[in-house]
Chain A
Amino acid sequence: DTGVSQDPRHKITKRGQNVTFRCDPISEHNRLYWYRQTLGQGPEFLTYFQNEAQLEKSRLLSDRFSAERPKGSFSTLEIQRTEQGDSAMYLCASSLGTGVGNTEAFFGQGTRLTVV
């Protein structure tokens, strides 16, 4: 296992189209996160899965956004009816959570979305 994998690396889409991104976490990691990063800013938390359960969603995640993690393995993030303000780098991370503890979070290379 070489780390967290995200696909695609780059996506250009027209405003109003739907897009879907995929994240494959490190295989033994039960926790998976999505973050969004705009230019010059730090990543902002979007949502978190423990196994297949989505346990928290940020207010940044409008109803146009949906994330899934079927069977607690890979995750998808879908954006419907994209807007220019959705242009950003979408980062996925995973970690091994044990009770209230947490090991290091490992991030993927991100998917850069450009909405034109």
Chain B
Amino acid sequence: KQEVTQIPAALSVPEGENLVLNCSFTDSAIYNLQWFRQDPGKGLTSLLLIQSSQREQTSGRLNASLDKSSGRSTLYIAASQPGDSATYLCAAGEGPYKYIFGTGTRLKVLA
């Protein structure tokens, strides 16, 4: 059974710092891995999707990497801003349509 873990559970950093959020999964046979952002009381916003054959994806200040063999993905946020404050969720694609989510990392970027 696939299990997804995210470390740390919470993170508070000063504005401008570069930071790394970690995601690990127990079954390396994933179809893809997707990172989401969730603001309090809101739905999920897709950030990056990495297919199983890819090693990384980039969008603006965000870079996500995937290492299937070690069961890890990282989300790198460059030059963090207060507007980046949110919960970040990773989801491992179990089969082509079902995602298994971690419990998220709550990020607070201090001005």
Residues of A within 8 A of B (CB): 4, 6, 31, 33, 35, 40-45, 48, 50, 55-56, 91, 93, 95, 97, 100-110, 112
Contacts and interface: CB of A to CB of B under 8 A. Distances in A.
Give the size range of B's interface with the partner.
20 to 34
B46 A48 contact: no
A22 B49 CA distance: 26
A97 B97 contact: yes
Contacts of A93: 44
17 contacts: A33-B97, A41-B103, A42-B91, A42-B103, A42-B104, A43-B44, A43-B101, A48-B97, A93-B44, A95-B97, A102-B32, A102-B93, A103-B49, A104-B46, A104-B49, A107-B46, A110-B42
Interface of B: 4, 31-32, 34, 36, 41-46, 49, 51, 89, 91, 93, 96-104
B43 A105 contact: no
Which secondary structure dominates chain B's binding surface?
strand
Which 5 A-B pairs give the minimum distances between C-beta atoms? Answer: A42-B101, A107-B44, A109-B43, A104-B49, A107-B43
